Structure 1
Amino acid sequence: MMKAFKKITDERIENVRNKIYKEMYHVIMAICLLSVLVKIYKYGVGSGELYLELVILLASGVYYLARSIFLGVFWDEVEMHDRTSKTPMSKKTIFGTVGLAFIIATIMGVNSAVSYADGSSQGLWYFVLVWCVSVMIYLPILLLFFGGIYLLAKKIGMKNSEDNKKL
């Protein structure tokens, strides 16, 4: 009797549907990013006109990350990556985080040197000082953030793997 209510699905149709949803997600993210850029150009960076787009961009990324971690897909993707790549994802996470911290520090150092220095020697001093302080501030924070996400994904992925083996 229950078989009469069971929905029959074609795997090809499901894969095409998933591909369409993925493309739709990319189009929506591109529209939001384009809207952010237009509003920055039109109203400036400090305007409050960007909140909705930024919430959409950040919330969708956080949602995707959380769902993929708790479903175990993220860790499966990491394992697949580590099998085929010479550099494991853990090292790429560390290198990417250090690189991001250096980029943020460089941008802040250049901004301080250009905006507040009176001469080139003072500009160099401001750059070096702000760059070093920014690295000391942002590097641990970013390492904790990205490393924490990576370790959380690993812990949950290993738990899901153990649960699947028990079944």
Structure 2
Amino acid sequence: MNLFKRTKKITDERVENVRNKIYKEMYYVILAICLVSALFKLYKYGAGSGELYLEFAILVGGGLYYLARSIFLGVLWDEVEMHDRTSKTPMSKKTVLGTVALALIIAIFMGVNSAVSYADGSSQGVWYFVLVSFVSVMIYLPILLLFFGGIYLLAKKIGMKNT
């Protein structure tokens, strides 16, 4: 009476790899469809409409799911270790430099937007650019460092626990 008892299936590694490759390609197709749909909705309805919630949820949710699964399975930390063996610059340094670069890009974008939109003259525009850029760096740099550094440290802690 072993109706609900599962027997262990014998699987071929080649079949599993091909199946995983198909799933990966399917994920990329879904991301491309969501991106095309979002761009079409932006073109048709404009940037102010609230028509992009589903596409945003699919794009962000899929990325967050992949990140969480790879962290908790220890795959992300294994990839970091493999990267650090072959690269001159360790992933920790790349994480910090990438975070600083992202914060500077956001700050420059906000500074230029503020100078162009709100300044009356060129000297006031320069002052607005410098002030808004500096304040943006002071706000976004710690937040982004905590976010990306936290993900890196979480992946390290869980990856070390799994080994």
4+ residue runs of structure 1 moved beyond 2 angstroms?
A: none
Higher helix share: 1
Q: CA deviation at 1:46?
A: 2.0
User: Which position in structure 1 is the counterpart of 2:8?
Assistant: 6
Residues 1:94 and 2:123 are matched in the alignment: no
1 CA distance for matches of 2:67 and 2:15?
A: 25
How many pairs align?
159
1 CA distance for matches of 2:40 and 2:109?
A: 22
Tell me the SS of whatever aligns to 2:89. Answer: coil
Aligned with residue 58 of structure 1, among 57, 60, 80: 60
Task: Compute the TM-score of the two structures, normalised by the length of structure 1.
Answer: 0.91
Tell me the SS of whatever aligns to 2:51. Answer: helix
2 CA distance for matches of 1:42 and 1:124?
A: 36
Q: Deviations over 1:66-99 (max 9, x none)?
A: 0000000010000001001111110010011001
2 CA distance for matches of 1:96 and 1:30?
A: 25
User: Which position in structure 2 is the counterpart of 1:152?
Assistant: 154
Aligned with residue 45 of structure 1, among 40, 47, 68: 47
Q: CA deviation at 1:116?
A: 0.6
User: Which position in structure 1 is the counterpart of 2:78?
Assistant: 76
Aligned with residue 127 of structure 1, among 126, 129, 137: 129
Q: Which runs of 5+ in 1 are unaligned?
A: 162-167
RMSD value over aligned CA atoms? 1.4
Q: State the identity %.
A: 82
Q: CA deviation at 1:101?
A: 0.4
Q: Which runs of 5+ in 2 are unaligned?
A: none
